[in-house]
Copies of this chain bind each other. A is one copy, B any other.
Amino acid sequence: MPRVLLTGFDTFGAIPVNPAGKVARSLDGKKINGATVIARIAPGVFFKSIDFVKSAISEVKPDIVIMLGEYGGRSMISVERIANNLNDSTRYGLTDNEGGSMQDRLTVPDGPVGYFTTLPIRAMVKAMRKAGIPADISDTPGTFVCNHLMYGILHYITIADLPIRAGWIHLPHLPSVAAMESNLGAPSMSVETAVTGLSAGIESILNHKEDILDPIASAWQI
């Protein structure tokens, strides 16, 4: 039975609740299309987040890794196509959860510029929309901890040559966060709506089961 490692974050900076953590926890232990979802909550910290998910991969031995984050301002579930080897937290005026800041620094100094996701993102987006959930492919996961962790894990899987598909999904603000004065006007999505979308997306990955191991590199082109 395939295993899906689903990671989220808890609070991040001034945002009191994170949809990534809520959605990951909601799906923990669920069976979807013959696979089991195992959730873990990663620290919102440069490098520590990568180490944490590497450990979770060793422990859980998943076939699929889906990492979740929040992208305030986006209205849809966005499935990321690519992770970049760069960090720029300053442009958001944010630090990570231990006060860490990076500007124009690489995650892996001798690593490649980017990695494509190895999830079948087009099929996932189609499945989410069919389930009635607004979703789209995104061409950038930003330059903060989300992109950092996505890059770090795709790099690790590549270097360690693990038979794992992996990728990143961004969620809009939760309604309660969009209801804060400082965020008024931002779109939002409820936990329930996001869970419905995620479930449809995970289900669609598993419909590509025969593709899960080979060839990983072109998975995003399915």
- Interface size in chain A (residues, C-beta < 8 A): 43
A214 to B33, CA, bound (A): 54
> Are B175 and A133 within 8 A (Cβ)?
yes
- Pairwise interchain contact B135-A179, C-beta atoms closer than 8 A: yes
Asked if A11 is an interface residue, CB under 8 A from chain B, the answer is no
A contact residues vs B (CB 8 Å cutoff):
75-76, 81-82, 84, 86, 88, 91, 104-105, 112-116, 122, 128-129, 132-137, 139-140, 142-143, 175-176, 178-179, 184-190, 192-193, 220-221
With contacts A76-B185, A105-B221, A128-B179 known, what are 19 further pairs, Cβ within 8 A? Answer: A75-B186, A75-B187, A82-B84, A82-B86, A82-B113, A86-B116, A91-B137, A104-B122, A104-B220, A104-B221, A114-B114, A134-B175, A134-B179, A134-B188, A139-B140, A140-B140, A175-B193, A190-B192, A192-B192
